[in-house]
Amino acid sequence: MKALVKAKPEPGLWMEHRPVPEIGPEDVLIRIRKTGICGTDIHIWNWDDWAARTVPVPLVTGHEFAGEIVDMGRNVEDLTIGQRVSGEGHLIGKQSRQSRAGKFHLDPATRGIGVNEPGAFAEYLRLPAFNVVPLPDAIDDEIGAILDPLGNAVHTALSFDLVGEDVLITGAGPIGIMAAAVARHVGARHIVITDLNADRLALARRVVKDVEAIDPRERDLGEVIRDLGMKQGFDVGLEMSGSQAALDQMVEALVMGGRIALLGIPPGKSPVDWSRIVFKAITLKGVYGREIFETWYKMIAMLENGLDVREVITHRFKVDDFREGFETMRAGSSGKIVLDWT
């Protein structure tokens, strides 16, 4: 089979021929149709310090996918050959306190497909049946291929009650934009998203109805709060950028007792003014991946009932043109990029 492989400890990925994976009694074999390029894949392409510490070489990469089941292990139940699926890319252990309590997304033994284990940038993927998520007819392969990052957005956005709340999102990358779409779908009042990239702010305005998309260098958040008629500030913050400056701005723009969910990862250690967080009685929640499987249930239900994130996909490439896809994403102005394996 064709596969995109991190074949050498240096920048780039390489198209290689690899054996079709052999499945065990609890696994399924998935024929990949579409895959999404993730920011994690860019780190692996660039071979930065995190990738060099984390990714074994050689490795088939990729973890955002949609496809169909073409083979199943003898112990697999409730799935069928030919069924369209996506799947949870976090492979959990079964022995930790968290897993035994059903809090699978908190399992410390988690390993990721395409990061620690062979991934989905290939014609075929072996996946434990436990991780498989069937796709309803209402969700096509293209959307199915971006359920992983949409799940990050849903997990972050639904960390706190958003109904009637004023929400500040820092970072207008694809996940931040999808989080804004989720906030709008579930009934937030005012939604403001900030970024320094004009192209991504424009994309946010296209994807999300009535969002205020601003560059904080050009428009002060205090002015935005006044213009929108908010008496104190934002109720909820969703930090998606990994920028310390953005987090500092968010803390100042929140009401007393405000709540912040953090998905963005800073590039290194950051100086935090904890006194401001303490004296404003702010709640912080770190978000990692998706709640397995509650996030999947909620996002599929929302997609079946009007949540529309398709416009966050800005580029589509045949897999043989993967280099162009990666270079487009590395340029920093695209939304989601989908590779077609059919």
Catalytic residue among 35, 40, 61, 314: 40
Q: Would you state the pLDDT for residue 333? A: 87
Q: Would you state the pLDDT for residue 145? A: 98
| DSSP conformation class of 269 | -
Catalytic residue among 35, 43, 105, 156: 43
Nearest to 289 by CA among 312, 265, 305, 325: 265
CATH topology of domain 153-286: Rossmann fold (3.40.50)
Q: Return the SS3 of 68.
A: strand
pLDDT at 314 over 90: yes
Q: Would you state the pLDDT for residue 264? A: 94
Tell me the Cα Rg of the chain.
20
Tell me if residue 43 is catalytic: yes
Q: Would you state the pLDDT for residue 166? A: 98
Q: Would you state the pLDDT for residue 256? A: 97
Nearest to 194 by CA among 174, 216, 173, 226: 216
225 contacts: CB under 8 Å, gap ≥ 6: 232, 233, 234, 253
Q: Return the SS3 of 82.
A: coil
91-147: pLDDT as tens digits? 999 999 999 999 999 999 999 999 999 999 999 999 999 999 999 999 999 999 999
Q: Would you state the pLDDT for residue 231? A: 86
Alpha helices for the chain (secondary structure H): 39-46, 49-54, 97-100, 141-144, 147-157, 174-186, 198-207, 221-227, 244-253, 274-279, 294-304, 322-330
Q: Would you state the pLDDT for residue 274? A: 94
CA torsion angle for 59, 60, 64, 66 (degrees, to 10)?
-150
Q: Return the SS3 of 5.
A: strand
Check for a shared fold between 2-146+309-340 and 153-286.
Answer: no
**Bridge partners, residue 279, by sequence:** none
125 contacts: CB under 8 Å, gap ≥ 6: 21, 29, 30, 32, 65, 67, 113, 118, 119
Please give the share of the chain, as a percent, with pLDDT higher than 70.
Answer: 100
- pLDDT mean across residues, the chain: 97
Q: Would you state the pLDDT for residue 259? A: 98
pLDDT at 249 over 90: yes
User: What integer is the mean pLDDT of 301-310?
Assistant: 97
Nearest to 24 by CA among 72, 83, 80: 72
pLDDT at 186 over 90: yes
pTM: 0.95
Contact between residue 166 and residue 228 where contact means Cβ atoms under 8 Å apart: yes
Please give the share of the chain, as a percent, with pLDDT higher than 90.
Answer: 96
Secondary element (H or E) of residue 111 = strand 111-112
User: What integer is the mean pLDDT of 194-223?
Assistant: 96
Nearest to 6 by CA among 35, 48, 65, 34: 48
pLDDT category of residue 67 using cuts at 50, 70 and 90: very high
Q: Domain residues of the chain, as ranges?
A: 2-146+309-340, 153-286
Q: Would you state the pLDDT for residue 270? A: 85
Superfamily of 2-146+309-340 according to CATH? Medium-chain alcohol dehydrogenases, catalytic domain (3.90.180.10)
DSSP string of 169-205, one letter each residue: EE--SHHHHHHHHHHHHHT-S-EEEE-S-HHHHHHHH
265-294: pLDDT as tens digits? 888 888 989 999 999 999 999 999 999 999
Dmax over Cα atoms in the chain, in whole Å?
62
- The residue written with tokens 């930090």 in the block is 239
CA 131 to chain centre: 17
**Bridge partners, residue 340, by sequence:** 34, 318
**Bridge partners, residue 16, by sequence:** 3
Q: Return the SS3 of 100.
A: helix
pLDDT category of residue 23 using cuts at 50, 70 and 90: very high
